[in-house]
Structures are given as C-alpha cells and as structure tokens.
C-alpha cells in the first residue's frame, strides 16, 4: 500500500462520503437531482460542510477539475446510488442529439447553460432558476442571491472574502475599515466596508452597482471608487467607464420584478432566460432588435412569450422547456 493510500484510508467517514460525491460529479452522468441531493447532504451539519471543503482541498478540484480525483483509490470512498432521471432523459435536444462522448465537457460548460457547471455545483451557496436566497454570512455581512447564482467562501482569519462564481448578488457590508469585505469576481476585486451594492457576473463581464455608501473596484492595474448611484462594468481587459444607474431597475429583482426601458428583445430574452428553466431562443437577428418596454413578474415569465405572440411572434415549443421565437 502506498503512503497516499494510507493517508486516504485514514480519512473520516464523512470525508470519504464527500469524495464519493466528487467522483459522481466527475462521472459525466450527473443529474439535477444529484446536485440537489449534494446540497442537502452538505447542509446536514457543519461537519458535513467541512468534509466537503476537505475533499475539495485534498483533490484541488477547483483548480484542476480534469485530474483532481485521479489518485483517489476507489476502495476509500463510499459508493452511493445516483438519483434517477438524468438530464439526457429530459431530451434537451435542439436540432439533434447531444454528443454521447462529451460528458466531461458538458459538465464543465453545459449547452445553453441548461444546468450548473461543475464549479458552480461546488459553491458554498447556490440558487437555481428563479430561486432567491438570503445568507447572513457573518457579523456585518449579508447576501441576497438572485437566480442562478453561485458563491464560494474564501475567508481568511483576518479578512472576510467571497467569490462570485457566477450570477448576481446584492451585498450589505457593515465592517471596520481595517477589515473590509472582499468580493472576487472574474478578474476583479471589490472591497467594501460600509456599503450596499449589487454585483452581477455574466460570462466575461462583471457589473458593479453602488446603491449606498462606497465601494472600491480593482481590475489590475486600475482602480475605481464608486459612490452611491454609480455603476461600472469590467472585463479581463479593463475597467469600463463609471455611469449613473437607475437603482430601482438594478434592484427590481428583489421585489420579484424585471424592468425594461427600450431594451432590444434579444437583451430581454437573455434576462428572462436567467429566471426560467429551459431556454428561449430567437430565430434571426431582426426579431432580436425589436425594442421592449415593460415590467414583468419573475414568477410569471411565460407571460412574456404570450405577449410576444399577441404582437405577431410565433412560438415553437420543444421538450425541455425550450421555446423558439420567430
């Protein structure tokens, strides 16, 4: 028996169970039911949550998803039965079948963002489509997670720190200047001592909106200080310009609303897709350029499709809650 096997066999039962969950996530056959079951397992107790973090540390899963579990002997983990109804059984197919051998790639980058990526599923806090969640992280820090949001806790003993892996959160910080909250998002760093601010991480861009107080946004080598009512977006390349934002529109999701002022239909559909299962797709650029004004209830977003049909759009519905508009 090797030294690594000795060390792994000495792991406590909860950590071995956590390793089993990681192996399941790596299998390429993960289901939404599995992801929900994993969240319930982690929420059972602080010991379960710590076992999950220990498993992640042991295998450096977040840094190297492809080979992190390669050295873990199968005999050291506790097998479990995967939940039924895998995603493939829902026939989430558009114009052909998903490639059978692409399980690992689809887990890392799911097609049409129809289910969470591997990194999102390993977050400390996560919301599904249309779900919102409040988290009292620690004294002086409260988080409101919007739909499809994943947050990992990266705090040290000296400094509270979180990573917004993806999605959107409204954050309240009431900290001493010497110990500000640090938010990591993509290639940037956001710091706040006394502020209420909204951070949205969509793909390659991050939008920061200061609702109250002041926040510092750093995207090396540049730094900007946002006051209340100001907003900026940054990418891996640079910080964008500060602009005045509509606080009511930015925070409308907290009240269960989406507000659009002269937005192209393509932008409206992209926003609606964040909140509903499945996907709405536009057939052609011309329909996507149509301007939209309106206020929509997040819990009744299928009404958007109905209204567009009344305006002459044709909706084709496919299995898996996929809708094509033309």
Please state which of the ranges 104-113, 205-214, 259-268 shows the lowest mean pLDDT. 104-113
How far apart (Å, rounded) are the C-alpha atoms in residues 212 and 172? 9
Say what the pLDDT of residue 117 is: 54
DSSP 3-state assignment of 160? coil
Say what the pLDDT of residue 108 is: 42
CB atoms within 10 A of CB 15: 23
Structure confidence by residue, pLDDT tens digits, 34-77: 777 888 888 888 888 888 777 766 654 334 434 444 444 444 44
Q: Which of 272, 243, 244, 242 is nearest to 260 (CA)?
A: 272
Structure confidence by residue, pLDDT tens digits, 150-174: 999 988 777 899 999 999 999 999 9
- Interhelix angle 302-310/265-275, rounded to 10 degrees, is 150
CATH of the domain spanning 119-246, picked from 1.10.15.40, 2.60.120.1440, 3.30.1490.20, 3.40.1190.20 = 2.60.120.1440
- Percent of the chain at pLDDT exceeding 90: 40
CATH class (in words) of the domain with range 256-325: alpha beta
DSSP 3-state assignment of 82? coil
Reply yes or no on whether the pLDDT at 112 is more than 50: no
- pLDDT band, residue 314 (cuts 50/70/90): confident
Q: Which of 231, 233, 242, 304 is nearest to 271 (CA)?
A: 304
How far apart (Å, rounded) are the C-alpha atoms in residues 48 and 14? 6
Please state which of the ranges 18-32, 123-137, 240-254, 268-282 shows the lowest mean pLDDT. 18-32
What is the tally of helices (H) and strands (E) in the chain? 10, 17
Average pLDDT score over residue span 229-241: 94
Average pLDDT score over residue span 110-132: 69
Reply yes or no on whether the pLDDT at 180 is more than 80: yes
What are the extents of the domains in the chain?
13-64, 119-246, 256-325
CB 166 within 8 A of CB 175: no
How far apart (Å, rounded) are the C-alpha atoms in residues 161 and 139? 13
């Amino acid at each position: 028996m090797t030294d690594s096997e000795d060390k792994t066999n000495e792991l406590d039962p909860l950590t071995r169970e956590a390793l089993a969950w990681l192996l399941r996530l790596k299998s390429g056959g993960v289901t939404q039911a599995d992801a929900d079951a994993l969240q319930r397992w982690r929420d059972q107790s602080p010991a379960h949550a710590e076992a999950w973090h220990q498993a992640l540390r042991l295998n450096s899963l977040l840094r190297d998803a492809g080979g992190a579990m390669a050295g873990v002997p199968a005999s050291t983990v506790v097998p479990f039965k995967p939940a039924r109804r895998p995603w493939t059984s829902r026939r989430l197919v558009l114009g052909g079948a998903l490639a059978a051998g692409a399980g690992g790639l689809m887990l890392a980058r799911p097609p049409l963002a129809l289910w969470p990526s591997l990194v999102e599923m390993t977050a400390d806090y996560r919301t599904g489509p249309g779900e919102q969640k409040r988290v009292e992280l620690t004294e002086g820090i409260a988080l409101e997670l919007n739909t499809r949001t994943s947050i990992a806790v990266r705090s040290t003993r000296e400094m509270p720190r979180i990573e917004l892996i993806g999605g959107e959160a409204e954050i309240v910080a009431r900290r001493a200047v010497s110990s500000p909250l640090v938010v990591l998002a993509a290639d940037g760093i956001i710091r706040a001592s006394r502020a209420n601010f909204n951070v949205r991480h969509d793909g390659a861009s991050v939008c920061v909106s200061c609702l109250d107080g002041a926040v510092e946004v750093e995207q090396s080598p540049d730094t900007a200080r946002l006051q209340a009512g100001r907003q900026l977006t940054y990418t891996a390349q640079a910080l964008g310009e500060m602009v005045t934002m509509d606080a009511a529109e930015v925070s409308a999701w907290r009240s269960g609303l989406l507000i659009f002022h002269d937005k192209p239909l393509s932008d409206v559909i992209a926003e609606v897709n964040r909140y509903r299962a499945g996907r709405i797709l536009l057939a052609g650029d011309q329909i996507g350029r149509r301007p939209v004004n309106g206020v929509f209830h997040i819990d009744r977003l299928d009404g958007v499709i109905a209204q567009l049909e009344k305006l002459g759009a044709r909706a084709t519905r496919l299995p898996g809650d996929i809708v094509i508009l033309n």
